[in-house]
A and B are shown apart, each in its own frame.
Chain A
Amino acid sequence: MSVVTNTTTIGAIEAPSRRNTELMLLAFAVVIPVFAYVNVGLAIDGELPTGVLGYGLGLGLLAGVAHIVVRRFAKYADPLLLPLATLLNGLGLVMIWRLDQSQRLIERIESRFGPGSFSPDAPKQLMYSAIGIALFVGVLMVLKDHRILQRYTYISMAVALVLLILPVFFPAVNGAKIWISLGPFTIQPGEFAKIIIAIFFSGYLMVKRDALALASRRFMGLYLPRGRDLGPIVVVWAMSILILVFETDLGTSLLFFGLFVIMLYVATERTSWIVFGLVMSAVGAVGVATFEPHVQQRVEFWLNPFADKTWEQSDQIGQALMSFGSGGVLGTGLGQGNSDLIGFAANSDFILSSFGEEFGLAGMMAFLLIYGLIVERGVRTALAARDPFGKLLAIGLSGAFAIQVFVVAGGVMGLIPLTGMTMPFVAYGGSSVLANWALIAILIRISDTARRPAPAPAPSPDAEMTQVVRP
């Protein structure tokens, strides 16, 4: 009879899980928006907003649930992602609520759709946030290992294509066909498509990366892959241009194209892809801009935001720029700016200018750095991931996030032409909040796998032999 005991001196090194750090940061991420909420109430009505307790508890509860689920199902996950997303979501809710109080925006709606037609957006956004966190919880609970997603590479491609093509069959809203409406709900499928397409790219590139990287011919200093490897790339490039043309959605096509180039570059490690991507996007952009009036108009608005003609058609860019300007270095203070002058889409596409005006330059820098941090944690996750699929998916998702933030913020601030995309987490809109919570969930899942300590080595067969034989 022998007693089997593990006497190996090399145990698994317990990496700190950092869950308590996350909890502490989450507390900040809840308290800061609650203070902001109180601040808006005091600035606008001179008294504490009546919903402050409910709002604080609600946000706290959501954050708490998310935290417990992370603690249980993704113990080693990156501790920064959840608090950062919660903070953005909470501040977004405050700003949407603040814009709900704007008499000008209420009047604007009521003069268009009749008295009583105004309904506040903040409660809806709170509901979307709850569903978003539910989705976050669901992803973490169901998706035990991100590598499972690899199995759905080609299904993802099909789903993504369907999602992208669907809006063509629905009427355009404000010049862009990016919506599908199902009864009372409208969904922006592009938001979800960006995640699904990242999954497809990761799966496809993981399989093809060697073929793409090595089986290529040198042509004018560039490595050109074989046609059968290049096929899907051309399809995606064509697709993003087609989306642009038929749905007049500049942002989404830019996002997908950028996403694809980034992932291809990471997968093949060939700089020529960057050059190739830039050339193709330049050709595509110039080609489309020459015959698509919607795009031409956007460029015109961007170049001359204050021209008479621009002003007549859409004063939004100009108004947004003036919002930023009037915020100055320290901002006007929550509830005390006039960012509602933007009117249409003030709490969705243009919500950043409200932050710019009321939080000022200081607030905007903090804001952009929060986004920067999320991206940075995503890239770090990609670096730490041990499997190529995980690496590709993590860099794809964080790259998409970065490009989206850049395109939206750059558009609102007049750095690049405006496109109709939403600022992740802060802008009003169900699709956006849901999709971005799912995105964070997947990143947390990958980071958990990446940071999880290696399993304890199996009991070594040698152990038997070195046992002390008792007499």
Chain B
Amino acid sequence: MNKPLRRIAIFCGLLVLALLVRTNWLQYVEAETLNTHTRNKRVQIERYAAERGNIIVDGKPITGSVDSNDTYFKFKRTYVDGPMWAPVTGYASQAYDANQIEKIEDGILTGNSDQLFFDRTMAMFTGEKKVGGNVVTTLNGAAQKAAFERLGSKKGAVAAIEPKTGKILALASTPSYDPASFAGYSGKDEKAWLALERDKDKPKLNRALREVYPPGSTFKVLTAAAALEHGKVDDINAPTDTEEPYILPNTRTKMVNHAQGCENATLNDAMKVSCNSVFAKLGDKVGRDNMVETAEKFGFNAEQFTPVRSAASVYDTKMDRPGNALSSIGQFNTATTPLQMAMVTAAIANDGKLMKPYMIDSLESPSLDPIKQNEPEEMSQPLSAKNAQLLQQMMENVVENGTGSNARMGDGITVGGKTGTAQHGENNSKNPYAWFISYAKTDSGSPVAVAVVVEDSDASRDDISGGGLAAPIAKAVMQAVIDSKK
């Protein structure tokens, strides 16, 4: 009977082998997939197992942790001025995962990142409790506060950048939400989450980074930049030979001008009063491909990682001539995030050099030692310094003498800006968006460029509302930045 016994021994061996192979498969090959599975609660448990590190603005934390005496999630996230900072921090919820900085820098905040290996090992020997590291942001508390408070009950967003470095100074979005309201996983948290989900004003949407709006007339600065860069205009004070009314190429559609005196206006004047015809014709003259080239140099058609991902702004690469002409004044299917328009403004204010926008200045270990310091990084040079200065002249003219007068600041501060009111909806049936982009300049260069968009319910006429609604907000933000530098 020994022959079959030996075969059975082999069979039993195969059973054990199958189990060994399976355990290797699960614990080695599949381990990563299983560990990051959406159903795996361990990520969440780990996230709240120890006191989470903080997100820092101006040296002060805007987040916190409380011991919630829970067997699953020991600590719960708290927020200082939650609604104001939500577009920056994102949320960290025991029930609904996390997003934005809370998610991207989760490793540092929980203390599990490999970058903290040394600290963890030290803590193991000294017996210290595990805590997370900190994320130091580039944001400016005063600017953020000004942006959020000035937006108030209006729907809209503000993005402000330091042109020289690309540091993001303010990132506000209204209506906002309080990430603390659903930080836990109780019934109350669920109710708060569902209410936010159902809210048709979409408070959870980060309008500064993730919503794309038609930019309206603010896009004209980009058209002007493209024209200067591609040599279609040399002298901004020379007549542009624009007929009135201007007929869109290949069509019989007349371009509507809300402004007066656009016939044959100079580029400078056209910018000042915001002539549609002049810029539509100019855009047509530059041509679609050249327009696309410049727009993409400014960051269009690509997502930006700040490191929070922004939506890609759109300048259509395949449209026909009339579409391109319309797009040159920020209509048709051109759409941008507020961050993108802030980048355009910042590049102009920084003499043509576009710095990569970022909002995390540095990462700190739990013992406050720096782990990683982010340095300003040049993204592209969409226009020459000379052309940038020409654009600055035009934009400053807009504020001094034109539609952007509401942003004037005085006290030796030069402000350049551009208003915009973007029509949208079929036959412009929906309420337009009021835009304002601007930068401030002191003797030591420009400390801030800002883009403001207000989803306006009262605006009716081009430019007036951009100047009327959005410009004061931009002014308040610029003022806050300049005051905080003093």
Contact = CB atoms under 8 A, between A and B. Distances in A.
B30 A325 contact: yes
Contacts of B393: none
Contacts of A324: 23, 26-27, 31, 34
Contacts of A329: 27-28, 31
Contacts of B28: 328-329, 361
A369 interface: yes
B368 interface: no
Interface string B158-201: 00000000000000000000000000000000000000000000
Interface in B21-64: 22-24, 26-28, 30-35, 37, 39-42, 45
Contacts of A409: 19
B13 interface: yes
B37 A406 contact: no
Contacts of A361: 23-24, 27-28
Interface string A390-427: 01100100110011011001100111000000000000
A104 B72 contact: yes
Interface centre among B2, B8, B45 (most CB of A within 10 A): B8
Nearest to B3: A269
Given A328-B27, A361-B23, A372 B13 contact: yes
Given A326-B35, A361-B28, A103 B71 contact: yes
Contacts of A360: 27
B256 interface: no
How large, as a class, is the contact surface on chain A?
35 or more
A392 B28 CA distance: 39
Interface stretch (A64-72, A280-288, A375-383): A375-383
Given A322-B39, A324-B23, A325-B27, A399 B8 contact: yes
Contact of B1 (A321, A371, A391): A391
Contacts of B238: none
A341 B3 CA distance: 46
Interface stretch (A5-13, A158-166, A259-267, A454-462): A259-267
A365 interface: yes
A399 B10 CA distance: 11
23 contacts: A104-B71, A265-B8, A266-B4, A266-B8, A269-B1, A306-B39, A321-B26, A324-B23, A324-B26, A325-B26, A325-B31, A325-B34, A329-B31, A341-B42, A360-B27, A379-B5, A379-B12, A392-B1, A395-B8, A402-B12, A406-B19, A413-B26, A415-B18
A315 interface: yes
Contacts of B42: 322, 326, 338, 341
Nearest to B30: A325
Interface residues of B, number: 37
A413 B24 contact: no
Contacts of B27: 324-325, 327-329, 356, 360-361, 364
Contacts of A388: 1
B15 interface: yes
Contacts of A364: 23, 27
A318 interface: yes
Contact of A399 (B12, B23, B33): B12
A399 B16 CA distance: 12
B23 A368 contact: yes
A251 to B, nearest CB: 14
B18 A410 contact: yes
B20 interface: yes
A379 B39 contact: no
Contacts of A306: 37, 39
Given A356-B23, A361-B24, A368 B16 contact: yes
A369 B16 contact: yes
Contacts of A267: 1
Contacts of A318: 39
